[in-house]
Chain A
Amino acid sequence: MLLFLLILWILSAVLVLLEQRPYRIVIYFGIFSLITSVAYLFLGSPDVAMAEAGISAFTTIFFLVCMERYYAARRKVGAQADSETRANTVPVRKRFVRILPALLFSAGLLGLFIWFIPTGEISTHLRDQYLALFISDVGGENAATAIYLGYRLYDTLFEALILVIAVVAVSHMSWFDGTAMTGSGRRRAEIGHSSMAVFTMRIICPIILLFGAYLFFTVHLTAGGGFQGGLAVASFFICRYLIYDIYDIPIKKVIKMEELVFIGITIVAVLAIFLGVVEFAQIPPVIYLNTMNVLIGMKVACSFFILFYRYIAIERAS
């Protein structure tokens, strides 16, 4: 089964590689992400699979917005003689000859790589210790959660930080310097979108929110956690956007909140793990894990919500 998936996976990647039309690249990339996510599930990592599924939804949206701008920009200058236009007029055989050196080079590297792949067995030293100790050390029932909220919390802190930086960067790098947003506030169906899609979304929307909340609070028990829950909550806002053409959420406050939540995460992390308060005060680990997860979930939800709104409302506007 895994073999079958992997073959499909490689094929979809090759499809992405061969495709020339930008919109289709995005579609094929979505397929690729879906297969990847299922493959992760087969490899025994539901946490990563969930995160990948959530992330790929956002990446696809980012790309779609980007494509829209791309076509708008190209329409503006007309069929300019840049290499993309030129590439489509070159016959296939000639194109092949042109890429042949690159193909041979990559194939040679691949061969070299395979020739030198280490043959040793994987060392299970850390795995065995983590699996044996995580319940007494950190608590909870999910070993992956225990690692990223306990043993390697220091990494997770920087991971949260890079989301803060990404949000700052996106608003600084963007051509538009500000946070203004516009929207008609009407139902999509009234503007002329498919009413069936809107109807479906209205049913799905609360389910997604419920699912996000479930992920928030049961982290220590099953797969999922702050990241995945945050992504689910953020995708609730996407659905909301699909139903109403509306931007009534004050984005500045959300940005502020995101930074405050990051400060909260830092404080909790420093107190709980770096200074060892959890151990010292005999706080049940479930409380710590849940606090941290809710904070991280809020952080991720805010970040992706801001990114999404930024792309849809500002980057998309022309």
Chain B
Amino acid sequence: MNWLELFPVALFFISFFGLLIGKTVIKSIVYILLMQTSVILFWLMLGARHGTAPPIVQDAAYLANLDTMADPLPQALMLTAIIIGVSVIAINITMLNALFRKYHTADWKTLDAMAREQEDNDS
């Protein structure tokens, strides 16, 4: 085990802590982004355990330095994860904007109370 991998683990729980105490929706979204980043960095560190050269073949003699290359699989996977993450965040932020328009607040507690009120009126 490479002890540098403790950094993403630590960030994962720092952002988890943020999610626990976060009072506004904005902060919660930022912490989710931090969490995503920490997981992505963790995967790339796994891929770089056996070498940190980019997995790009520049010349025919690449077989010689195959051992120093990073694992290409985590990179391809994390590219996908990044795009998925940003799409979901974009949706979240749009919802947040609509929320501001309607309720004029981003506070979780106030929002919950207002949502409950709306449900009571509805039923």
Could you tell me which A residues sit within 8 Å of B by CB distance?
Answer: 2-3, 6, 9-10, 13-14, 16-17, 22, 25, 29, 32-33, 36, 39-40, 42-48, 51-52, 55, 58-59, 62-63, 65-67, 69-70, 72-74, 76-77, 80, 82-84, 87, 99, 102-103, 105-107, 109-110, 113-114, 117-119, 121-122, 124, 126-128, 130-132, 134-135, 141-148, 152, 155-156, 159, 162-163, 165-166, 169-170, 173-175, 222-223, 227, 300, 307, 310-311, 315
Contact of A44 among B27, B53, B73, B84 (CB under 8 A): B53
Please tell me if the beta carbons of B83 and A80 are within 8 angstroms of each other in the complex. no
Total contacts A-B at CB 8 Å: 252
Q: What are the 6 A-B residue pairs with the smallest beta carbon separation, nearest first?
A: A44-B70, A143-B72, A166-B87, A106-B17, A147-B76, A143-B55
Chain A residues with Cβ below 8 Å from B52 are 42-44
Q: Considering the complex, give the chain B residue whose CB is closest to the CB of A41.
A: B54
B79 within 8 A of A: yes
Residue of A nearest to B13 (CB): A110
Given that A82-B110, A223-B56 are contacting pairs, would A109 and B94 also be in contact in the complex, using a CB cutoff of 8 Å? no
Shortest C-beta distance, B48 to chain A (Å), equals 4
Q: Which of B77-115 contact A (CB under 8 A)?
A: 77-80, 82-84, 86-91, 93-98, 100-102, 104-107, 109-110
When the two chains form their complex, are residues B100 and A43 in contact, meaning their CB atoms are under 8 A apart? no
Of all chain A residues, which has the CB nearest B107?
A: A82
22 A-B pairs, CB-CB below 8 angstroms? A10-B10, A43-B44, A43-B70, A45-B44, A45-B48, A58-B90, A62-B89, A73-B101, A73-B104, A99-B21, A109-B16, A122-B46, A126-B71, A141-B56, A142-B57, A147-B76, A148-B80, A152-B77, A159-B83, A174-B94, A174-B97, A175-B98
Chain A residues near B80 (CB-CB < 8 A): 148, 155-156, 159
Residues of A within 8 A of B45 (CB): 43
Best-buried of A40, A73, A119, A144 by chain B (most CB within 10 Å): A144
Given A32-B34, A131-B69: A165 and B87 within 8 A (CB)?
yes
Task: Taking A166-B88, A174-B94 as given, write out 4 further A-B residue pairs in contact, using a Cβ cutoff of 8 Å, ordered by the A residue number.
Answer: A2-B4, A109-B16, A155-B77, A174-B98
Given A36-B41, A45-B44, CB of A59 within 8 Å of CB of B79:
no
Whether the Cβ atoms of B93 and A63 lie closer than 8 Å is yes
B66 touches A82 (CB 8 A): no
By a CB distance below 8 angstroms, the chain B residues around A14 are 14
Find the B residue at minimum CB distance from A20.
B27
**Minimum C-beta distance from A231 to chain B (A):** 10
Tell me what chain B mostly uses at the interface: helix, strand, loop, or mixed. helix
B14 nearest CB across to chain A (Å): 6
B118 to chain A, nearest CB (A): 16
**Residue numbers in A under 8 Å from B73 (CB-CB):** 126-127, 130, 147
Q: A131 and B79: CB pair below 8 A?
A: no
Contact A39-B26, Cβ < 8 Å, known A106-B20, A173-B95, A174-B98: no
Shortest distance between the CB of A234 and any CB in chain B (Å): 12
Residues of A within 8 A of B104 (CB): 73-74, 76-77, 80
For residue B15, give the distance in angstroms from its CB to the closest CB of chain A: 7
Considering the chains assembled together, what is the distance between the CA atoms of A117 and B12 in angstroms? 14
Given A51-B83, A66-B96, A131-B69: A25 and B50 within 8 A (CB)? no
Tell which of A39, A84, A222, A307 touches B24, judged by Cβ atoms closer than 8 Å.
A84
CA distance A218 to B120 in the complex (A): 58
Known A-B contacts A22-B26, A144-B55, A163-B87; the reply to A13 vs B11 at CB < 8 A is yes
